[in-house]
């Protein structure tokens, strides 16, 4: 997370603009290449009819377009990633000896950094000498030249490969198969990107967590009962003990999730049973989408609903009974989160209940069972694995939910089972730890990564269980 060698914004801006323009030009070229390819396939000399071609002309068009675009894009990518290192190498060779003599690697990189900052008009670490100015100018010049050469090379390559692809077109060319295989690669790359991103996120969180656990023992984190991440900067500062016990956070998360599930599971399940077993087809077509609108409300809206309406309501009604309730309570957050999760559970349960074969219901009715007996003793048991899967998915949603709890549950890490108290959750703490300007070498900020990792593991386990259960369910009737 160091700041060295990070290109400044100006450079990135320049670079992105150049690349975007180039890509746009390439797209236009590809469209032209597509047309050219199609035309050539139609007008191939000695072609009686289109059926003499191995592939339809449109595939020849795609084929030429791919020839035009793919090599040029590859060149663009490679060039963009190697230009800066090469320029820096050139620069190092050209540096006046007096500037580099007797410098260590670290000092050298500082000089380099100064040069680049200077080149982009940023603040440097020391006084600006005339030599440094000259070198910075030189650096700028090299970069500009590099970009210019890049544009020319990329467009030139695109034109050459287009001509090449165009020449390859013949009646025997298996253009369709080639386009298909390129498509396959494209799809493969897309899915790889998704997987790599997930892995990247996991490793980023993992490495930062390892750094955290170098400073705070794992056992303190996992079993500590006190959460107080502020660390004293001065000796006389109060209330900043720097305790990193995650138990109160997970207890708060579990308390709120439990309340949420207590609301969502019965209501969602009964709504699903009503919709799938009792409601007429007409009612169903209207009620189901209406219920699912609940799922479309942004959580931040639920958040202020919880903070501004539900929480004061709970505090006031608790006061009526002479009970002291915090104005930010676990109950408020949990209730509203439960409402948010209703469509989750009802929609998933509705699907699995509908998937129970009608033959089973008929069998039960034919034995003289009433509707509710059939639902209780045949339909629900048969759908149970699917329902459990839905509930677990909703539970992992509840545990990971942030916005509602940030707004409604509070920030104080109380270790309590009283739903009227204010508690805090893992996600809330991650937000508060990372909001604003932070340094990334204090245990306080790194704690966010450890919390994130733990949270990720918990939801991962829940999801795996849910998927397992759902898969098992699928096997029952096949």
Chain residues that interact with other proteins, rule: CB under 8 A: 280-281, 357, 359-370, 373, 377-378, 381-382, 476
What is d(CA 340, CA 395) in angstroms, rounded to the nearest whole number?
12
Residue with smaller CB distance to other proteins, 66 or 378: 378
Residue with smaller CB distance to other proteins, 98 or 366: 366
Residue with smaller CB distance to other proteins, 97 or 359: 359
Q: How far is the CB of 377 from other proteins (least distance, A)?
A: 7
Q: How far is the CB of 468 from other proteins (least distance, A)?
A: 18
What is d(CA 51, CA 166) in angstroms, rounded to the nearest whole number?
20
C-beta of residue 79 within 8 angstroms of C-beta of residue 153: yes
C-beta of residue 219 within 8 angstroms of C-beta of residue 234: no
Residue with smaller CB distance to other proteins, 174 or 371: 371
Residue with smaller CB distance to other proteins, 180 or 277: 277
Residue with smaller CB distance to other proteins, 43 or 280: 280
Q: How far is the CB of 375 from other proteins (least distance, A)?
A: 12
Residue with smaller CB distance to other proteins, 199 or 476: 476
Tokens at 123, concatenated: 């603040």
- Pick the closest to residue 417 from 303, 309, 265, 259 (CA basis): 259
Residue with smaller CB distance to other proteins, 143 or 276: 276
Residue with tokens 């160091």: 2
Residue with tokens 């544009």: 151
Q: How far is the CB of 382 from other proteins (least distance, A)?
A: 5
What is d(CA 428, CA 286) in angstroms, rounded to the nearest whole number?
37
Residue with smaller CB distance to other proteins, 164 or 363: 363
DSSP β-ladder status, 227-231 and 241-244: antiparallel
Residue with smaller CB distance to other proteins, 40 or 361: 361
- Pick the closest to residue 119 from 150, 81, 88 (CA basis): 88
């Amino acid at each position: 997370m160091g700041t060295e060698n990070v290109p400044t914004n100006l450079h990135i801006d320049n670079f992105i603009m150049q690349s975007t323009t180039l890509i746009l030009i390439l797209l236009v070229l590809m469209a032209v290449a597509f047309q050219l390819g199609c035309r050539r396939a139609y007008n191939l000399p000695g072609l009686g009819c289109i059926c003499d071609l191995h592939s339809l002309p449109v595939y020849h068009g795609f084929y030429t377009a791919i020839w035009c675009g793919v090599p040029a894009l590859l060149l663009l990518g490679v060039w963009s990633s190697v230009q800066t290192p090469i320029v820096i190498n050139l620069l190092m060779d050209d540096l006046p000896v007096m500037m580099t003599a007797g410098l260590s690697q670290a000092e050298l990189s500082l000089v380099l950094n100064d040069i680049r900052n200077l080149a982009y008009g940023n603040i440097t670490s020391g006084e600006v000498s005339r030599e440094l100015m000259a070198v910075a100018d030189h650096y700028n010049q090299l970069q500009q030249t590099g970009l210019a050469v890049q544009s020319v090379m990329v467009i030139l390559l695109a034109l050459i490969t287009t001509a090449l692809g165009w020449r390859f077109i013949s009646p025997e060319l298996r253009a369709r198969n080639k386009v298909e295989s390129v498509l396959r690669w494209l799809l493969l790359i897309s899915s790889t990107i998704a997987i790599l991103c997930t892995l990247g996120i996991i490793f980023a969180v993992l490495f930062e967590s390892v750094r955290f656990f170098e400073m705070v023992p794992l056992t303190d984190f996992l079993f500590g009962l006190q959460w107080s991440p502020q660390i004293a900067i001065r000796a006389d500062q109060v209330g900043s003990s720097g305790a990193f016990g995650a138990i109160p956070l997970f207890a708060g998360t579990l308390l709120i999730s439990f309340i949420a599930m207590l609301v969502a599971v019965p209501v969602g399940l009964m709504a699903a049973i009503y919709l799938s077993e009792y409601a007429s087809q007409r009612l169903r077509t209207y009620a189901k989408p209406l219920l699912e609108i609940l799922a479309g409300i942004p959580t931040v809206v639920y958040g202020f609903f919880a903070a501004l309406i539900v929480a004061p309501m709970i505090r006031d009604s608790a006061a009526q009974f002479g009970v002291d309730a915090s104005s930010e309570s676990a109950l408020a957050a949990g209730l509203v989160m439960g409402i948010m999760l209703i469509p989750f559970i009802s929609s998933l349960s509705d699907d699995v209940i509908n998937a129970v074969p009608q033959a089973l219901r008929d069998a039960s009715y034919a034995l003289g069972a009433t509707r509710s007996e059939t639902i209780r003793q045949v339909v629900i048991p048969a759908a149970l694995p699917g329902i459990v899967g839905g509930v677990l998915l909703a539970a992992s949603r509840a545990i990971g939910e942030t916005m509602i709890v940030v707004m409604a549950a509070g920030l104080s890490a109380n270790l309590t089972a009283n739903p009227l108290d204010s508690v805090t959750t893992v996600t809330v703490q991650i937000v508060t730890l990372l909001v604003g300007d932070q340094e990334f070498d204090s245990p306080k900020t790194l704690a966010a990564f450890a919390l994130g990792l733990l949270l990720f593991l918990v939801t991962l386990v829940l999801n795996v269980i849910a998927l397992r259960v759902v898969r098992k369910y699928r096997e029952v009737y096949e």
